[in-house]
Amino acid sequence: MNVSFTQKQEEYISSLVASGDFQNASEAVRDALRLHQRYRDMVLNDLRIEIEKGWEGSESPRSVKDIIAAKTGEM
């Protein structure tokens, strides 16, 4: 697998290795991916919970047009 980073990302990864937090760039990237996966799983789980609340909740008295108007200020 070949991955390209921006200059800023490369500098950040290099600084993590230079600080001694990681042995090498691969270790830093693997750690970032683990954290990303945990974060993504948490966000998706939270969304599933909120969707379920919507399905189980009562029907809104507002129409789709009412909701859009409230968001765009076109009341």
With 0.75 as the threshold, say if the pTM is over it: no
Mean pLDDT of 24-34: 97
Is there a domain that residue 1 lies in? Answer: no
Mind listing the pLDDT tens digit for each residue in 1-27?
899 999 999 999 999 999 999 999 999
Mind listing the pLDDT tens digit for each residue in 57-73?
888 899 999 999 999 98
Where in the sequence is the domain holding 25, given as residue range(s)? 7-72
Per residue, the 3-state secondary structure of the chain, as one string, reads CCCCCCHHHHHHHHHHHHCCCCCCHHHHHHHHHHHHHHHHHHHHHHHHHHHHHHHHCCCCCCCHHHHHHHHHCCC
CA distances from residue 61 to 58, 66, 67, 68, 69 in whole angstroms, order as listed: 9, 10, 10, 14, 14
Highest-pLDDT range among 31-40, 53-62, 65-74: 31-40
Mean pLDDT of 23-35: 97
Is there a domain that residue 50 lies in? Answer: yes
Q: How many domains is the chain built from?
A: 1
Is there a domain that residue 2 lies in? Answer: no
